[in-house]
């Protein structure tokens, strides 16, 4: 999946799930990994990373 598509997926997931989007991406990553689909797992890992950047740093 190219970076544009990853960004589009991340934005859509963040709009749909808000702060839970990162957890949803992690869940999808684990599901793909469990199925042995390493390409899809890497896509979900990149989507999660993009969502984390969208959210910004955690406040303390």
The pLDDT value recorded for residue 57 is 75
Q: Can you give the pLDDT of all 60 residues of the chain as single tens digits?
A: 999 999 999 999 999 999 899 999 999 999 999 999 999 999 999 999 999 999 887 755
What global pTM score does this model have? 0.90
The pLDDT value recorded for residue 60 is 56
Phi-psi region of 59 (alpha: psi -120 to 50; beta: other; left: phi over 0): beta
Query: Which residue bears the tokens 């406040």?
Result: 59
The pLDDT value recorded for residue 47 is 98
Tens-digit pLDDT profile for residues 35-45: 999 999 999 99
Decide: residue 36, CB within 10 A, 0-12 exposed, 13-18 middle, 19+ buried: exposed
């Amino acid at each position: 999946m190219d970076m544009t598509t990853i960004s589009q997926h991340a934005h859509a997931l963040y709009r749909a799930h808000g702060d839970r989007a990162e957890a949803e991406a992690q869940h999808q990553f684990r599901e793909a990994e469990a199925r042995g689909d390493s390409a899809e797992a890497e896509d979900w890992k990149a989507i999660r990373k993009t969502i984390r950047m969208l959210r910004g740093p955690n406040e303390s």
